[in-house]
Copies of this chain bind each other. A is one copy, B any other.
Amino acid sequence: MARPRKDDKRARILQAAVKVFARKGYFAARVSEIAKKAGVADGTIYLYFRNKEDLLVSLFDEVMAAHLEAGRQEMKAAPGPAARLLRMAEHHLRALGENRDLAVVFQVELRQSTKFMERFTASWLQDYFQLLYGVIEEGQRAGVFRPELPKKLVAKALFGALDEMVTSFILSGKDYDLAGLAAPVVDLFLRGVAVPGKVAHARPVLAATGAGRGGK
């Protein structure tokens, strides 16, 4: 009845690609297997994507665009910098915790070459970091975040911590509540490990770090 239109096929191919990439890995994934799982002929894939790599890249770009926009909206609604960080963290962990295959593709397959990594960094991560920068500066202006901390360092550290939660989740093979880790991670970031007043500065905080990722 409903005519299976172009976008239907494209979407089915992408869904199939996520599954196959996640299970086999990008290199071991066979285009013909993706086609089979999508219910189309091998050649049909090439009507929608330039080649195998374009499948991965398109997957990435489209998921990222949607994810980031949703994250932006969600964050806006939160009251104050601390709550915003929490929202972002929850959004990050929820998105990947809800779709294990997608998470595998993002945590593992997309990082198998500096080429992909650089693309990842240049497109998604920069935007993600911009959001974080905004929140951090806001917190510093409001006097609730330590003003001497370099925002780039903070953003990288927070992203790195969350990223590790996702990777750990993937590799655990278990299905616990990944998004539930957002709160303790953010709390850890906000208040630190040390009992206040009990730990002296390890060393004075250095100024800055030079380039952000990909600042080539």
Q: List residues of chain A with CB under 8 Å of any chain B CB.
A: 25-27, 82-83, 85-86, 104, 108-109, 111-114, 117-118, 121, 136, 139, 143-146, 149-150, 153-154, 156-165, 167-174, 176-178, 180-181, 183-196, 198-206, 208-216
Contacts and interface: CB of A to CB of B under 8 A. Distances in A.
Contacts of A185: 153, 157
A85 B176 CA distance: 28
19 contacts: A27-B113, A82-B199, A82-B200, A121-B171, A144-B194, A146-B191, A149-B193, A153-B185, A156-B168, A160-B163, A161-B164, A168-B214, A171-B214, A173-B215, A173-B216, A174-B210, A184-B206, A190-B192, A191-B194
A77 to B, nearest CB: 15
B194 A209 contact: no
Contacts of A202: 82-83, 85-86, 183, 186-187, 190
Contact of A111 (B108, B159, B183): B108
Contact of A176 (B144, B149, B193, B211): B211
Contacts of A118: 171
A177 B25 contact: no
Copies of this subunit:
4
Given A114-B170, A118-B171, A163-B164, A149 B195 contact: no
Given A145-B193, A146-B195, A170-B114, A184 B83 contact: no
A158 B160 CA distance: 8
A173 B215 CA distance: 7
Contacts of A82: 194, 199-200, 202
B216 A145 contact: no
